[in-house]
Amino acid sequence: MSKKIKLAEDTIDTEELNLLSNWILEGNQLTKGQLTSKFEKKFSEYIGSKYSIFVNSGSSANLLMIYGMMQSGRLKNNIAIAPAVSWVTTVSPFLQLGFDTKLCDCNPNNLGMDINHLEKLCSDFNPSILIMCDVLGHANDFDEIERICEKYGVIILEDSCEALGSEYCNQKLGTLGIAGSFSFYYGHHISTIEGGMVVTDDKELFNIMKSIRSHGWSRDLESTDVEKLRNTHNIDEFRNFYTFYYPGFNLRSTDLSAFLGILQLQKIEKIVKKRMQNFYKYKELLPDFWCQESNTNIISSFAYGTFVENRLELSQFLKRNSIESRPLICGNIARHPFWTGEKNGLKNADLVHDNGIYLPNHLNLEFKDITKITNCLKEFYKN
């Protein structure tokens, strides 16, 4: 039986598991503590942001960003724009938090936000906030999005859960908006088993989100910021232990996960380089198939996406040849059962929904695997 080519493979290797096992047996603290802070600092250094907040998933990272913006008092209304081609938890926090949410169609080349549709939505609805999604590691047309958002007074968030290491104009994706999110789930660029990160350069927003991450209390903040809150609300030192300044969540991760994250960051450059090489190998071997194109000078490719006919039959053919594949992430969010809003005017997202497929890309994928995958596609359509 031929080797199975998986869509994704774990990035945590045996050496890291042995190091983790020894660290656990030494009796170190497993819950959130000093290692979490160390991981956050190292991640900020890598990504190029002032602040990072480690949470228990990329989905929680999106929830924290959006709720943090609500609590900041900076939103002019409760109208938001989200990408039709994204992930369910890119969009669902807006619904859960009571936003009037509009979906923006995708750009037919990079699968980010379509500029013309975005400007129409901004003109028609005057939203206060939007979230971009860097689909499969590719940048949006950020300069145009930024121009439109400045024109209409819209705050930009960025879901970069599929784009760790990608760069736009030599700036890491995830750092383009006021805050950005990342995921460290199995199969993503690095893994902490479960985990995610929010990054920002905004100190006030950082403090709000860091408080919200842990119930809404102040104990994780710097002492000067704790004093400001205590003085503002007339809270004594003892009472402050259990004083909640925001209606918070518990989105914390653990020092166990942070231990893995610190190890994983040591090989992130190797992972990014391999994923980008794999992307261009696919592109070379599939010249007659649609290829995602973007102004991304480093593409930390999450998977190789393309459009096909007879997608179900192709996926079954690939499976018989021991190759995993999936729909191109969520396709069109508006065509999922949970969505009850406007469904029309999303023609590019419909194309992704009906014809989009993505193929394996990960650190352990070899060029001979990509050759097998691409030969299978050619054989299927030749027949």
Q: How, if at all, do strands 196-200 and 51-55 pair?
A: antiparallel
pLDDT at residue 81, as a whole number: 98
Which residue do the tokens 């497929």 mark?
357
Counting the structural domains of the chain, the total is 2
CB burial of 228-254 (b: ≥16 within 10 Å; e: otherwise) equals: ebbeeeebeeeebeebebbebbebbbb
Helices (H), 192-300: 203-213, 223-233, 255-265, 268-285
324 and 214 together in one domain: no
The CATH number of whichever domain residue 306 belongs to comes to 3.90.1150.10
CB-based contact 68:208 (threshold 8 Å): yes
DSSP 337-378: TT--S---S-HHHHHHHHHEEEE---TT--HHHHHHHHHHHH
168 and 216 together in one domain: yes
Question: Of 312, 65, 326, 377, which Cα lies nearest the Cα of 187?
Answer: 326
* Token pair listed for 150: 């400045």
298 and 372 together in one domain: yes
The CATH number of whichever domain residue 257 belongs to comes to 3.40.640.10
C-alpha 72: how far from chain center: 22
**9 assigned to some structural domain:** no
175 and 305 together in one domain: no
Cα atoms found within 13 Å of the Cα of residue 76, Cβ hemisphere only:
10
Measured between alpha carbons, how far is 337 from 320 in angstroms, rounded to an integer? Answer: 30
DSSP 42-94: HHHHHHT-SEEEEES-HHHHHHHHHHHHHHHT--SSSEEEEESSS-HHHHHHH
**311 assigned to some structural domain:** yes
240 and 280 together in one domain: no
CB atoms within 10 A of CB 186: 14
128 and 51 together in one domain: yes
Q: Which of 245, 265, 285 is the last residue of a domain?
A: 265
CA distances from 256 to 51, 86, 182 (A): 21, 30, 18
Q: How, if at all, do strands 129-133 and 155-159 pair?
A: parallel
**290 assigned to some structural domain:** yes
181 and 279 together in one domain: no
What is the phi/psi pair of residue 59, to 5°?
-65, -45
Q: Which of 265, 297, 312 is the last residue of a domain?
A: 265
**347 assigned to some structural domain:** yes
Question: Of 100, 58, 98, which Cα lies nearest the Cα of 302?
Answer: 58
Which residue do the tokens 């050496």 mark?
15
Cα of first residue to Cα of last residue in the chain, in angstroms, is 23
**54 assigned to some structural domain:** yes
pLDDT at residue 1, as a whole number: 56
pLDDT at residue 2, as a whole number: 75
Q: Which of 243, 265, 287 is the last residue of a domain?
A: 265
272 and 164 together in one domain: no
pLDDT at residue 383, as a whole number: 75
22 and 150 together in one domain: yes
Measured between alpha carbons, how far is 189 from 291 in angstroms, rounded to an integer? Answer: 21
Per-residue pLDDT of the chain (383 residues; tens, 9 = 90+): 578 999 999 999 999 999 999 999 999 999 999 999 999 999 999 999 999 999 999 999 999 999 999 999 999 999 999 999 999 999 999 999 999 999 999 999 999 999 999 999 999 999 999 999 999 999 999 999 999 999 999 999 999 999 999 999 999 999 999 999 999 999 899 999 999 999 999 999 999 999 999 999 999 999 999 999 999 999 999 999 999 999 999 999 999 999 999 999 999 999 999 999 999 999 999 999 999 999 999 999 999 999 999 999 999 999 999 999 999 999 999 999 999 999 999 999 999 999 999 999 999 999 999 999 999 999 999 97
49 and 147 together in one domain: yes
CB-based contact 142:168 (threshold 8 Å): yes
Q: Domain span at residue 367?
A: 268-382
166 and 315 together in one domain: no
**231 assigned to some structural domain:** yes
316 and 235 together in one domain: no
**206 assigned to some structural domain:** yes
Question: In terms of C-beta density within 10 A (0-12 exposed, 13-18 middle, 19 or more buried), how is residue 291 classed?
Answer: middle
**201 assigned to some structural domain:** yes
